[in-house]
Amino acid sequence: MASVAAPNAHFYPDRNSRNPSLSRRIDLRILSQQKPPVEPPQDVSTSQKGGRREVILRSSEIAVLGAIFHFSGTKPNYLGVQKNPPSLALCPATNNCVSTSENISDRSHYAPPWDYNPAEGRGSKNPASRGQAMKELLDVFVDDVEFWFPPGKKSIVQYRSASRLGNFDFDVNRKRIKALRLALEKKGWASENSF
């Protein structure tokens, strides 16, 4: 009898054996030692398409990993409400930030604050709480985006959106804030001015 552990071993059960579990166990062992079926050769054009797909998939994987691990930047230490005067931080000198705290004459950094309960909108009919307004704001953001609800009775939201890396973001932050503002206007919000 040959060893079942040997790579090319074959064991043939006694045909007169009345133990079906032994036969099944032996059949399984023999099946596990069979060579895989030979695949027919592929068409050359099909293999080239697979190669191109493979390259595209691999390059997109690399881009995603690079974006996650390399382009995330470090968190600035000045995030949050500043002390004097109470407001969000001013934008750095780079052109990849917008803020309601900036001077209105700074066209590259200033954006007007939002009112989540405007008098001519849902504020008169069905005003939202600050908690509800915060929930509506917190969707998806990759860069540093801050929202501040200043104390008082006004339903104003101050905000700041800035990229962590680079000096210019091709107005990505401004466009993102504008898209968010337009979506919030559908929920009844209003901007003090438009930009």
Residue 143: Cβ within 10 Å count:
17
Q: Is residue 153 part of a domain?
A: yes
Domain that holds residue 25: 1-33
Same domain, residue pair 107 and 175: yes
The answer to whether position 78 is within a domain reads no
Inside any domain, residue 41 = no
Q: Of 46-60, 125-139, 148-162, 181-195, which one has max mean pLDDT? A: 148-162
Q: Are residues 94 and 27 in the same domain?
A: no
pTM score, two decimals?
Answer: 0.45
Regarding whether 97 and 170 lie in a shared domain, the answer is yes
Does residue 186 share a domain with residue 108?
yes
- Residue 137, in any domain of the structure: yes
Q: Is 55 inside a domain boundary?
A: no
pLDDT tens for 70-107 read: 455 677 788 889 988 899 999 988 888 899 999 999 98
pLDDT at 102: 92
